[in-house]
Amino acid sequence: MRRKLVVGNWKMHGSRPANAELLSALMAARPFALDVAVCVPAIYIHETAATLAGSDLRWGAQDVSQHAQGAYTGEISAAMLAEAGCRYAIVGHSERRAYHGETDQVVADKAQAALAKGVTPIVCVGETLAQRDAGETEAVVKRQLSVVIHQLAHCASEIVVAYEPVWAIGTGRTATPEQAQAVHAVLRAQLQAATGHGERMKILYGGSVKADNAATLFVQPDIDGGLIGGASLKAADFIAICRA
Ligand code: PEP
């Protein structure tokens, strides 16, 4: 049986006092019956690590460079994330694809760079509303994932996948449990065919998950938890999702 995982994506939110309050509430709410992690802005990773160290809560980054080191001003390498104890790095979030021009190949390179340093990439895939309306959802997510699978070859089973329909991110509009499950089933079949380990791999759902819709999503057979944006910033909401 796959253990569920809930990951908070703080995006570009937070401050030292707000983070301290949020993290201490999370610490106090333990234990959870599933794995819980927070992916925080890079500048807060060390402080987050210091707060969560020794607990069963994990932390991670929201991006990672595809390069190992060098003249890449502003970038952060997988080795640096590993040094800071990061368990996860989100790669290919739709905001990075849209605003930073990340292609499927760049996303695959980032996933490979993370894995090479022992950081688990949470690979995001998802269609836009126009693609869904055009009936292209399956083709889009399969294409996005296949580039990563191809690049990682025998290591592909080490990733976590997050299905995040672009039209549901930060919009308050959630995929119905049935819509999400249908795509998750497609992704799992693809992972199974490519790696032989699809049945044990985690596929998270992300897109306006809230305390009141988390349970109906997480109960779906191929939904192994969530990648949570807005609702991960409020301790009570995030804790409620972790308990859903
Ligand atoms: C996300 O940023 O990955 C996300 C799913 O955001 P939200 O939960 O706010 O839709």
Phi, psi of 172 (to 5 degrees): 80, 0
Which CATH superfamily is 5-242 part of?
Aldolase class I (3.20.20.70)
Please name the helix (run of DSSP H) or strand (run of DSSP E) that holds residue 116, with its range, or none. Answer: helix 104-116
* Ligand 1 geometric centre to CA of 209 (Å): 7
The residue whose CA has the least distance to atom 8 of ligand 1 is: 229
- Over residues 112-138, the pLDDT tens digits come to 999 999 999 999 999 999 999 999 999
Element (H, E) at 142: helix 137-152
Say what the pLDDT of residue 172 is.
87
Protein residue whose Cα sits closest to atom 1 of ligand 1: 229
Roughly how many angstroms between the first and final C-alpha of the chain, as a whole number?
18
Ligand 1 pocket residues where CB is under 6 Å: 9, 11, 164, 169-170, 206-209, 227-231
Give Cβ neighbours of residue 193 (< 8 Å, ≥ 6 apart). none
Task: For residues 81 and 108, give the distance between their C-alpha atoms in angstroms, rounded to a whole number.
Answer: 17
Residues 32-56 pLDDT 10s:
999 999 999 999 999 999 999 999 9
Integer CA distances (angstroms), 170 to 31, 134, 166, 208, in order:
28, 22, 9, 6
Q: Which residue type does 44 have?
A: Y
Residues of the chain with pLDDT under 50: none
Cα of 70 vs centre of ligand 1, distance in Å, is 31
Structural tokens at position 29: 């709410």
